[in-house]
Amino acid sequence: MTRTKRTKKEQVIQGRRRFMVGAAGLTFGVAFGVPHVLRLAGGEAQAAAAKQVTLNPWVTLSTDGTVAIMSPAAEMGQGSLTSLPLILADEMDADWSRVKIVPAYPSGKLYGNPLFGGEQYTAGSAAVTGYFNSLRQFGAQVRYVLVENAARHWGVPISELTTEPSMVVHAKSGRRLTYGEIAAFARVPAQAPEVEVEPVTKAQFRLVGRDVGRVDVPGKVNGTAQYSIDVQVPGMIYGAILREPMEGAAPEKIDDAAARAIEGVIRIVPLKYGVGVLAETPWAAFKAKNALKVTWSRTAKGWGFSNEKGYERCAAVAKDLRRKGLAWETKGDAPGAMAKAATIVEGEYRADYAYHAQMEPLNSVAAVSPAGDAVEIWVGTQSQTITVAAVAKALGIPESRVKFNGLLLGGGFGRRGNRDVEFIVDSVLMSKAAGRPVKVIWTREDDVHAGRFRPLYVNRIRAGLDASGRVIAWHHRVVSDEVLAFMDPVRYKASKGRDNIAMRGTELPTYDIPDRLTEGLQQVTGMRTAPLRAIGVGQNSFANEVFIDELAAKQGVDPVQFRLRQLDKTPLAQRARHVIEEVARMADWGRKRPGRGLGIAYLDYSGTQLAGVAEVSVDRQSGSIKVHHFWCTIDAGVAVQPDNVIAQTESSIVYGLGLALTERITIADGAVQQSNFNDYQVPRMMDLPELHIKLVQTRNHPTGAGQMATPLVPTAIANAVFQLTGVRMRQQPMLPERVKVALAEGSRNQA
Amino acid sequence: MSQMITTTLTVNGKRHTVSALPDTPLLWVLREHLKLTGTKFGCGVGQCGACTVHIDGQPNYACLNPIKDMEGRSVTTIEGLSPDSSHPLQKAWVAEQVPQCGYCQSGQIMRAAGLLKENPSPSRQEIVDYMQSNICRCGTYVRIVRAIERAVKEG
């Protein structure tokens, strides 16, 4: 286990004893105190009363050898709680069995994700990719400080020292010091030493790439893992809220007689956006909420809206080329190239609203001080910093008066990172009204009715082909409800109106199409929207890759070959080529299966290269699609926890299966029609195909893994249905009635 | 249904007397009165299985059983499945790294424990049929099947 092959690093350490000036706000030697250790498994206690030394804001070392490492991200099932501290522990050469993970308190300056402008925001599968370099840097600095202390202690040159896990070794004299022993006398420099880490292409990792097991798993098999819904604080009561049926509707008349008659009900609390109930128990609160009779103001934008109206409007806008959108990706001169094209092909693709359906219904706990000038919250949020800001704003108090406790999330999928964190402000307002701590729980029906959905989409693509059939021009128009403006006005403003949530996935970074334009025409419909797993990529890549399949079919070219030919010569495209060829090989692409069809999808998702193949059959009577097999290849660069990348890919595929086949929210007169898992159907065990996943590990900077495979699924299924039936499915979800209609139209067209 | 009643039941081998509205689901009594929060609220209507516990030895939905029907009944929750996570299913769940967000997993494990009680060596199809009642939104189904098969093998 001796880390002997780090000579390069030691040379670097020796040769560079300069100090960084104000790097990344890093201040060495400042003790911040260690917050409570996240309760991952039954009553895990803080390390004994050992002396502690804070080496930087990320690491606190105890004399008993415990290494406390801050985890900056939310844990919602994606595994960042393990993988981020592990990256630091690797460079620090910490003994993983002595590592205690501590959730970082909200501080964008110290713990923000560089990819989100320093906000502590866990989204976009951007945790590992965003923090990777800085965590390695911090870990290397800590290791350097420990080695330097040992050198001084022994009076030997630093170049003679190596490390083993949590141990500094002087091989010449056979002396060893554990990190815990060093903690007893460590002097910590006021400024961080500059230490260079080896580039990812050459780095030798001890922990990165080795499956250590997720630290949150033990507590998740015995009921001790704590989510915000599990929190109880002394004196706490319960809240439920009957919310406006759509954004902007306000309660006009409230009849609460029946609600107040329920035993255990304490008070009815009128709110701007609904009517709250305070009660002794959750059950009394739910019953009272259901007994409320409220009429709502008809002033909201969304009244009268429906999916049909949404499609009508979006399709008209998409088709009307005089209406210019905001450019998202511009490359070359798409209109000019289009004018020179020998032929122009067009396609239109649609998607309904979709619901997150995270298993833990939204909830939060808040305790506002009697004077209303401070608050403590217990929450499951995708953004610690956004949450603190929103809560402070709701109470009109400084952020320093908000005490934050972050709990595990029973699923996030994009639902819990909106700028207004309304499900957290709920308990804050209710606690303020009650003068006591309050836990507000949304029922599943509340969670659906006040859902914030993946928007409704109409995508229109035009491709210009030259005489040989090569794609020379590409124009993709995305018309949908606005998302970013609703979910995060701050980021929207900074983006100058470009809606990255709606638009991502239109780009084609690896296809050799010299002239491209993608543009967004987001609509204000009054509907509540949010990022949902795979965000715009889930629909935009579906549109791209079904359209590509249509182009291949029109030219009579095999869809796999067509994609391979379309790739350019960049290193990224070489990785794309590999995942496509490999998935085709795994699926035995050329082999015909009686009664079954195969379809392929390829995707670059934030640099992660993926390809998928679905094998399907179709019941022509009912129109239902059965997916029998799904093959998937994923290259996300260096896999910090390889088994977890595979687990996340399994998860992404299952999620994509629901979006592809069954999941649909419909709106009538502005309100959501579904209410629970009986009418919003997510995949169950028997819906699963056989999954065949291959992780392609390459020496590239790690990219995302938490949602990347989701868009492959509807695309590969639609393309497989085409191969089997000759009929194109161009709308998500591919409900049985839609398949039946398409089959009937298909046979009419052939007749 | 709007006056409190008192009910005595056994939970994880211990007798408890609780006072609640008669139609209060067992789920909320377990979670908020008895502080056994391993049993989760997912849908409240018997659609997702997150609240699965054993009532008199049978897997059942805690959200669908009102406290008024619980007098003298015996309930086992995830906290009572084993004292130290040593149940074969719990060990297999760790070995297969099943949980992601983890919220549904107490219910999944209690459901699987019911299956193995009835049928100690289920086929793949029997597992899938029996586990149909429980939703995992993270889609850990593949690993759930593997973990159940491992628990059967390793006992």
pLDDT at A5 over 50: no
pLDDT score at B2? 66
pLDDT (0 to 100) of residue A625: 98
Checking if the pLDDT of A8 tops 50, the result is: no
Q: Last residue of some domain: A410, A441, A472?
A: A441
A147 three-state secondary structure: helix
Contact A742, A728 (CB under 8 A): yes
Q: For residue A150, which amino acid is it?
A: A
Residue A394 has pLDDT above 50, yes or no: yes
A517 and A482 assigned to the same domain:
yes
Do A479 and A608 have their domain in common?
Answer: yes
Give yes or no for residue B1 having a pLDDT over 70. Answer: no
Sheet holding A99-103, edge to edge: A52-56, A59-62, A67-71, A99-103
Kindly state whether residue A220 falls inside one of the protein's structural domains: no
B38 to A358: CB separation less than 8 angstroms, yes or no: no
| CATH number for the domain harbouring residue A267 | 3.30.365.10
Contact B40 A413 (CB under 8 A): no
Kindly state whether B13 is in contact with chain A, defined as any CB-CB distance less than 8 angstroms: no
**Does residue A733 sit in the same domain as residue A661?**
yes
| Option in A223, A229, A651 nearest B140 (CB) | A651
Cβ contacts of A365 on chain B, cutoff 8 Å: none
Name which of A217, A263, A683 is nearest B99 (Cβ-Cβ): A217
Q: Phi and psi dihedrals of A176, rounded to 5?
A: -140, 145
Number of domains forming the structure of chain A = 3
B61 phi/psi in degrees, rounded to 5 = -85, 115
Q: Name the pairing type of β-strands A402-406 and A375-379.
A: parallel
| Nearest residue in chain A measured CA to CA from B126 | A686
Q: Mind listing the pLDDT tens digit for each residue in A451-504?
A: 999 999 999 999 999 999 899 999 999 999 999 999 999 999 999 999 999 999
Nearest chain A Cα distance for residue B40, angstroms: 8
Mean pLDDT of A516-544: 98
Range of the domain at A124: 7-215
Separation between Cα atoms, residue B147 and residue B116, nearest integer Å:
12
B23, closest residue in chain A (CA to CA): A283
Last residue of a domain, one of A188, A215, A242: A215
Cα–Cα dist A321/A323, whole Å = 5
Can you give the pTM of this predicted structure?
Answer: 0.95
Mean pLDDT of chain A: 93
User: In angstroms, how far is CA A52 from the centroid of its own chain?
Assistant: 35
Q: What residues in A contact B65, CB-CB < 8 Å?
A: none
DSSP letter string, A269-296: EEETTEEEEEESSHHHHHHHHHH-EEEE
> Residue A435's closest CA among A269, A230, A288?
A269
Q: Indicate whether A411 and A325 sit together in one domain.
A: no
SS3 of chain B: helix, strand, coil, percent, to 5: 40, 15, 45
Judge contact between A36 and A226, C-beta under 8 A: no
- CATH for B88-154, among 1.10.10.10, 3.60.21.10, 3.30.360.10, 1.10.150.120? 1.10.150.120
Is the CB of B28 inside 8 Å of chain A's CB atoms?
A: yes
- For residue B4, the chain A residues in CB contact (below 8 A) are 263-264
- Let me know if residue A613 belongs to a domain: yes
SS3 state at A432: helix
pLDDT at A671 over 50: yes
Contact call for A218 and B85, based on CB within 8 A: yes
CB B92 within 8 A of CB B150: yes
**What's the CA dihedral at A65, A70, A76, A77 to 10 degrees?**
-40
CATH number for the domain running over B5-80: 3.10.20.30
pLDDT at A191: 82
Mutate to test the interface with A, among B103, B108, B136 (most CBs of A within 10 A): B103
Q: What is the pLDDT of residues A336-349, one digit of tens each?
A: 999 999 999 999 99
Q: Is residue A223 part of a domain?
A: no
Contact at CB, B24 and A651, closer than 8 angstroms: no
Helix (H) or strand (E) holding A346: strand A343-351
B94/A contact by beta carbon, under 8 A: yes
User: How far apart are the C-alpha atoms of A111 and A32, rounded to whole Å?
Assistant: 13
Residues of B in contact with A238 (CB under 8 A): 32
Residue of chain B nearest A79, judged by CA positions: B100
What is the distance in angstroms between the Cα of A675 and the nearest Cα belonging to chain B? Answer: 10
- Examine the domain organization and report whether A293 and A426 are in the same domain: yes
Backbone angles phi, psi at B2, to 5 degrees: -115, 10
* Chain B residues whose beta carbon lies within 8 Å of the beta carbon of residue A677: 43, 45, 47-48, 135
Cβ neighbours of residue A88 under 8 Å, at least 6 residues apart? A58, A59, A69, A94, A135, A136, A138, A139, A142
Closest partner residue to B97 (CB to CB) among A214, A445, A686 is: A214
**What distance in Å separates residue A650's CA from the closest CA in chain B?**
7
| A2, part of any domain | no
Question: Between A223, A357, A677, which is nearest B38 by CB?
Answer: A223
- Same-domain pairing of A618 and A636: yes
Nearest residue of A to residue B47, measured between CA atoms: A677
> Are A129 and A262 contained in the same domain?
no
Element (H, E) at A334: helix A334-340
Same domain, A343 and A322: yes
- ipTM value: 0.98
Q: Is the pLDDT of residue A48 over 50?
A: no
pLDDT at A63 over 70: yes
Residue A55 confidence class, pLDDT cut points 50, 70, 90: confident
Q: What are the pLDDT digits (tens) for A707-734?
A: 999 999 999 999 999 999 999 999 999 9
Å between A219 CA and nearest CA of chain B: 9
Give yes or no: residues A538 and A486 share one domain.
yes
Question: What is the model's pLDDT at position A190?
Answer: 83
Residues of chain B contacting A685 with CB distance shorter than 8 Å: 128, 131-132, 134, 141, 144-145
CA angle, corner A594, sides to A589 and A595, nearest 5?
105
- Using a CB–CB cutoff of 8 Å, tell me whether B85 touches chain A: yes
Residue A446 domain-assigned?
no
Number of CB pairs, chain A paired with chain B, less than 8 A apart: 183
Instruction: Tell me the residue type at A65.
Output: G
Question: In 3D, which of A654, A614, A648 has the Cα closest to residue A632?
Answer: A614
Write the DSSP symbol of residue B75: E
Same domain? For A199 and A271 the reply is no
Q: Which of A220, A365, A413 to mutate to test the interface with B (most CBs of B within 10 A)?
A: A220
> Can you tell me the distance from the alpha carbon of B144 to that of A211, in angstroms, rounded to the nearest whole number?
19
**Alpha carbon distance A334, A655 (integer Å):** 35
Q: Which residue of B has its CA nearest to A74?
A: B101
Please report the pLDDT score of residue A28 as a whole number.
Answer: 40
Nearest to B44 among A261, A409, A443 (CB): A443
B43 Cα to chain A: minimum distance (Å):
5
A411: left (phi over 0), alpha (psi -120 to 50) or beta: left
Residues B17-39: what's their mean pLDDT? 98
CA distance A191 to chain B (A): 38
**Torsional sign, CA B102, B104, B107, B113:** negative
**Predicted pLDDT at A460:** 98
Predicted confidence at residue B3, as pLDDT, reads: 84
Please give the full DSSP string across A501-515, using - where no structure is assigned.
Answer: HHHTT---TTB--SE
Put simply, the answer to whether B85 touches A222 (Cβ < 8 Å) is yes
Q: Is B46 on the interface with A (CB under 8 A)?
A: no
Same domain? A650 vs A722: yes
End-to-end CA gap in chain B: 45
pLDDT, position A584: 98
Query: Is residue A38 predicted with pLDDT exceeding 90?
Result: no
Between CA B148 and CA A702 the distance in angstroms is 33
State residue A53's pLDDT score. Answer: 84
* Both structure tokens of A241: 């809220």
Inform me whether the C-beta atom of residue B123 falls under 8 Å from chain A C-beta atoms.
no
pLDDT, tens only, A425-460: 999 999 999 999 999 999 999 999 999 999 999 999
Which of A78, A359, A712 has the highest number of chain B CBs within 10 A, making it the mutation to test binding with B? A359
Q: How far is B73 from chain A (nearest CA, A)?
A: 21
Q: How many CA atoms lie within 13 A of A78 on its CB side?
A: 25
Out of A22-36, A359-373, A547-561, pick the least confident: A22-36
Task: For A214, name the nearest residue in chain B, comparing CA atoms only.
Answer: B97
Q: Are residues A190 and A244 in the same domain?
A: no
Closest CA to A535 of A710, A348, A385, A663: A710
Contacts of B40 in chain A (CB under 8 A): 229, 359-360, 410
pLDDT at A474: 98
- A137: its two tokens: 């840097």
Residue B81: list chain A partners with CB under 8 A: 222
Instruction: Give me the percent of chain A exceeding a pLDDT of 70.
Output: 93
Q: What per-residue confidence (pLDDT) applies to A132?
A: 97
**Rounded to a whole number, what is the largest CA-CA distance in chain B?**
50
Which letter does DSSP use for residue B68 in this model?
G
Listing DSSP states for B119-143 in one string gives -SS--HHHHHHHHTT---TT--HHH
Give me the residue label for tokens 């923090």. A131
Tokens matching residue A257? 């007689």
Q: How many CA atoms lie within 13 A of A544 on its CB side?
A: 32
Q: Say if residues B22 and B1 touch (Cβ distance below 8 Å).
A: yes
Could you say which of A79, A282, A359 has the minimum Cβ distance to residue B42?
A359
Chain A closest CA to B72's CA: distance in Å? 22
Beta-carbon separation of A358 and B101 below 8 A:
yes
**Chain B CB contacts of A644 below 8 Å:** 97
What confidence tens digit (pLDDT) does each residue in A323-380 have?
999 999 999 999 999 999 999 999 999 999 999 999 999 999 999 999 999 999 999 9
Does residue A602 contact residue A580 with C-beta atoms inside 8 Å?
Answer: yes
Instruction: Give how far B121 is from chain A: nearest CA, Å.
Output: 19
Q: Check: CB of residue A46 under 8 Å from CB of residue A33.
A: no
When pLDDT is cut at 50, 70 and 90, the band that residue A15 belongs to is: very low
DSSP sequence for A449-468 = HT--BBPPEEEEEEEEE-TT
3-state secondary structure labels for all residues of A356-394: CCCCCCCEEEEEECCCCCCEEEEECCCEHHHHHHHHHHH
Contact A161, A140 (CB under 8 A): no
| Residue B29 DSSP label | I
**Contact by Cβ (8 Å): A88, A81:** no
Q: Please give the Cα distance from A385 to A399 (Å, whole number).
A: 9
DSSP string, A42-90: TTPPPP-S--EEEEETTEEEETTS-EEEEE-S--SSS-HHHHHHHHHHH
- Determine whether the interchain pair A677/B48 forms a contact, defined as Cβ–Cβ distance below 8 Å: yes
Q: Domain end: A186, A215, A244, which one?
A: A215
Is residue A1 one of the residues assigned to a domain?
A: no
Q: Helices marked H in A611-732 — which ranges?
A: 642-661, 712-725
A228: which 2 tokens?
A: 């915000």
Q: Indicate if the pLDDT at residue A20 is higher than 90.
A: no
Residues in chain A: 751
What's the pLDDT band for A52 if we cut at 50, 70, 90? confident
Instruction: Work out the burial of residue A24: count CB atoms within 10 Å of its CB; fewer than 13 is exposed, 13-18 middle, 19 or more buried.
Output: middle
Where do the structural domains in chain B lie, given as residue ranges?
5-80, 88-154
Nearest to A583 by CA among A552, A541, A629, A538: A629
Q: Token pair of A289, please?
A: 């909420």
Using an 8 Å CB-CB cutoff, list chain A residues near B37.
Answer: 223, 226, 229-230
Q: Cβ of B140 under 8 Å from any chain A Cβ?
A: yes
